[in-house]
Amino acid sequence: MAKRNAFYAQSGGVTAVINATACGLIETARRHRDEINTVFAGNNGILGALHEELIDTSQESQSTVAALRYTPAGAFGSARYKLKGLQENRAEYKRLLEVFEAHDIAYFFYNGGGDSQDTAHKVSQLGVTLGYPITCIGIPKTVDNDLPGTDSCPGFGSVAKYVAVSTREAGLDVASMAKTSTKVFVLEVMGRHAGWIAAASGLARELPGEPPHIILLPEIAFDRERFLGAVEQSVREHGYCVVVTSEGTRNADGSFLSDQGGKDAFGHTQLGGVAPVLARLINDQLGYKYHYAIADYLQRAARHIASRTDVEQAYAVGQAAVELALAGKNAVMPTIVRLSDDPYRWQVGEARLADVANVERTLPAEYITEDGLHITPECERYLRPLIAGEDYPPYENGLPRYARLRRFIVDKKLPPFEAQ
C-alpha cells in the first residue's frame, strides 16, 4: 500500500480529554509510518480543511504529542461549524475532497459529536460519488454523553467527575454554614437536551440525606410546586438543600426555565442562567438565603480533575480510529463497549456512522427516580465507573504544565475557498 496522509479535525465544544484522543491517534499513526505518512490536523477544525490550513503534526516533538494526553481543550482549534446538507451546499463537500486530494489525504478522522459523525458519513458517501474515495472514521467526543451506539462518550467521564467532586465539596461548605447563612445552593451544569452531567452529581451522595438533594434534568418537565416542596423538605430535614440543575431544565410546555423574559437594566431580555431563576424562585416563595454557581466552561476544561477511565477511553478511541482505518474499515466510529459494571471492564468496539449520526441519547426513564428529582441506583451503577481513577497532569510553579504546540501550517496548493 502506498504511503498516504491523514487528516484529523476536532469539532464542536471541546473537552478535558479530546487532546488525549489526538494523542492516541497521532502516536498510533507514528507507529505505522509505513502506511500513514503525515497526520495533518485542521486549524480550527473542519475550517482548516475548507481553508486549506493544515497543521503538520509531524513538526511536533514526541514529548509535545505525549503532553496532549493531559492537556485540556482543543490543541489544534475546534469549530462550531456544521456543513450544510449535500443538496444545499455540495460545494463545501467538494472543496473538502479537493483539499484532501491536493495533500494526498486518504484518511479523514473527525472527532466530535452527532453532527460530526453525520458530516464524516456524508464525506465518505460523496467521495465515492465524486471519484475520490476516502476512508472516513468518526471519533466520539462529547461531554453530553448523548451519542448512541457507545456505552459512554469520551469527555463525559471527566466532566461527570468534576461535577460530582464539586457537588460533594460545595455541599460540605453549605452544610457547615447553613445554621446562620446560605440554606439553598444551586449549581448549574451543562446539558441542554440530555441530563447526564447533572445526573452525575448524584454520585456525590454516599449516605441518605447527603447532597445533592435535588437534581433537575431536561428529561423531566419542571414542576414548580413539587420542586419547592422538595426544597422545603430538605431544609427542614437536613438544615439545607443542594440543587444541581441542567442548563436545559424545561417547563411542561417545553420552554427553557432560563428563558424567563425578564429585562435587565439595559432593557434587554435576560439571557441564560437557570440557576439564578431557581434561586430567586426559592427566595421569593420560601424566603431562604441562597447562593448559586454556574460552572460553565470550568467544568469541561477541568483537566486537573479528569477521570482516569475517561482519559484512557479517549486515548483508546484515537488509537482505534487509526487501526480501524488501516484495517480497511470505512464510515465507522470506534465505540466503548461495557463488559461488566463491577469490576468495570470495557473494550473498544465499532458502530456504523449511519447508525449514530444525528441521534441523541437521553437519560432512560429507569435512571430517574419516581419523583423525577434524583437518580436511581441503576443510574449510579452505570455512572460510577466512568469517574473512577485520577490522572493528574504534571505541575510547575503551582500550575498544570500543558502542551504548547508549534501548529506549523503547511503551504497551500489551492486557490482560496469562497463560501457559497
For residues 250-269, which are near its own copies according to CB under 8 A?
Answer: 260-266, 268
Least distance to its own copies, CB of residue 234, Å: 17
Hey, what's the cell of 153? 462518550
How far from the centroid of its chain's Cα atoms is residue 184's Cα?
Answer: 28
Closest CB 205 distance from its own copies, rounded Å: 10
CA–CA dist 10, 172 (Å, integer) = 37
Nearer to its own copies, 201 or 330 (CB): 201
What's 216's DSSP letter?
E
Q: Name the nearest CA neighbour of 167 among 197, 198, 212, 199.
A: 212
Half-sphere exposure of 19 (CA within 13 A, CB side): 26
Q: How far apart are CA 6 and CA 38, in angstroms?
A: 6
Window 295-334: contact mask with its own copies (x via CB under 8 A): xxxx-xxxxxx-x---------------------------
Whether a cis peptide bond, with omega within 30° of 0, leads into 400 is no
Q: Does 352 bind its own copies (CB under 8 A)?
A: no
Among 253, 284, 370, 411, binds its own copies (CB under 8 A): 284
Cβ nearer to its own copies, comparing 132 with 344: 344
Question: Site residues for its own copies, window 59-88 (CB under 8 A)?
Answer: 71-81
144 is catalytic: yes
Element (H, E) at 97: helix 90-102
Q: Which of 144, 146, 310, 391 is catalytic?
A: 144
Question: Using CB under 8 A, which residues numbered 167 to 226 contact its own copies?
Answer: 168-170, 172-177, 179-182, 185, 187, 203-204
Closer to its own copies by Cβ: residue 68 or 333: 68
CB closer to its own copies, 280 vs 338: 280
Segment 17-46, which members bind its own copies (CB under 8 A)?
A: 44-45
Residue 13 CA, distance from chain mean position: 7
Torsion, Cα 273 279 282 284, to 10 degrees, reads: -90
Residues belonging to the active site:
144
